[in-house]
């Protein structure tokens, strides 16, 4: 079968981009409202936890890689793009079951991360950077002071979305370059957490591990369902 088509029935093949369009049109009102409410609710809890820590936040240590990655004002664009990026996974859900799985796993990541933030508050170091030289980052530092550092939920959501979208793109038989763009976007967001000095390498590792655990649990559940069918 051509790599640019997706099978919808034994007798019908449509291009991958049309298959994605159909997915976006499926339950689009539910997806739009659910994503908006979910992100808004997350932010409300996130900032409350950050401004009301249960104890004095621990300053996260730096590694050689943290010193090696330079500060970049341009990285702010990638950093902010996460909130559009993560909306793509639910938008491309093919049915209610896949949409529910996406929402449930995203909630697990958010809940686990927020619980850690509350129980073990952390913050990034006070970097010796003149933020006035980086206007975009100066705005970011005003809005988000670098608390709730470990694990990086920016990284966790980016990795989770990359894995889920890779699966969705394979389902519609999207070409390799589209799947590569997905992975590069996720990698860019991960990089941006370091380049904006919002996180350090240990935070990145923690976020990656959190996403990996949730994805592994989902795969295990699916295998068990298939085995019992």
Q: Quick: pLDDT tens for 88-99.
A: 999 999 999 999
Of residues 2 and 160, the one with the higher pLDDT is: 160
Q: Considering the entire predicted model, what is its pTM?
A: 0.91
Arithmetic mean of pLDDT, 56-81: 96
Flag whether pLDDT at 193 surpasses 80. Answer: yes
Residue 127 · residue 197 · CB < 8 Å: yes
Tabulate helix, strand, coil % of the chain (nearest 5): 70, 5, 25
Flag whether pLDDT at 5 surpasses 70. Answer: no
Arithmetic mean of pLDDT, 176-180: 98
Residue 116 · residue 58 · CB < 8 Å: no
Query: Which of 69, 64, 217, 213 is closest to 151 using CA atoms?
Result: 213
pLDDT value for 12: 54
Arithmetic mean of pLDDT, 126-147: 86
Q: Which residues of 95-116 are buried (b: 16+ CB within 10 A; e: fewer)?
A: eeebbebbbebbebbbebbbeb
Give the separation between CA 101 and CA 129, rounded to whole angstroms.
42
pLDDT value for 220: 86
Flag whether pLDDT at 10 surpasses 80. Answer: no
Flag whether pLDDT at 164 surpasses 80. Answer: yes
pLDDT value for 229: 60
DSSP bridge partners of 122: 58
What tokens were used for 219? 């795969």
Work out the percent of the chain whose per-residue pLDDT is above 90.
80
Q: Could you give the angle at the alpha carbon of 64 between the alpha carbons of 140 and 79, nearest 5°?
A: 25
Arithmetic mean of pLDDT, 174-178: 97
Backbone φ and ψ for 27, nearest 5 degrees, come out as 55, 35
The mean pLDDT value of the chain amounts to 91
């Amino acid at each position: 079968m051509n790599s640019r088509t997706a099978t919808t029935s034994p007798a019908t093949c449509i291009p991958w981009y049309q298959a994605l369009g159909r997915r976006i049109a499926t339950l689009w009102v539910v997806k739009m409202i659910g994503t908006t409410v979910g992100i808004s609710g997350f932010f409300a809890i996130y900032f409350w936890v950050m401004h009301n820590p249960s104890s004095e936040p621990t300053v996260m240590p730096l590694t050689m890689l943290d010193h090696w990655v330079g500060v970049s004002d341009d990285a702010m664009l990638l950093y902010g793009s996460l909130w559009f990026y993560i909306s793509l996974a639910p938008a491309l859900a093919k049915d209610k079951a896949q949409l529910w799985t996406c929402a449930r796993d995203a909630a697990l990541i958010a809940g686990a991360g927020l619980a850690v933030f509350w129980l073990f508050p952390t913050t990034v170091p006070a970097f010796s950077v003149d933020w006035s030289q980086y206007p975009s980052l100066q705005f970011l530092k005003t809005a988000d002071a670098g608390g709730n550092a470990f694990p990086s939920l920016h990284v966790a959501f980016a990795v989770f979305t990359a894995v889920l979208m890779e699966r969705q793109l394979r389902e519609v038989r999207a070409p390799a370059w589209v799947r590569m763009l997905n992975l590069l976007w996720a990698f860019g967001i991960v990089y941006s957490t370091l380049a904006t000095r919002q996180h350090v390498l240990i935070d990145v590792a923690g976020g990656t591990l959190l996403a990996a655990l949730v994805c592994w649990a989902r795969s295990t559940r699916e295998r068990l369902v298939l085995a019992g069918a």
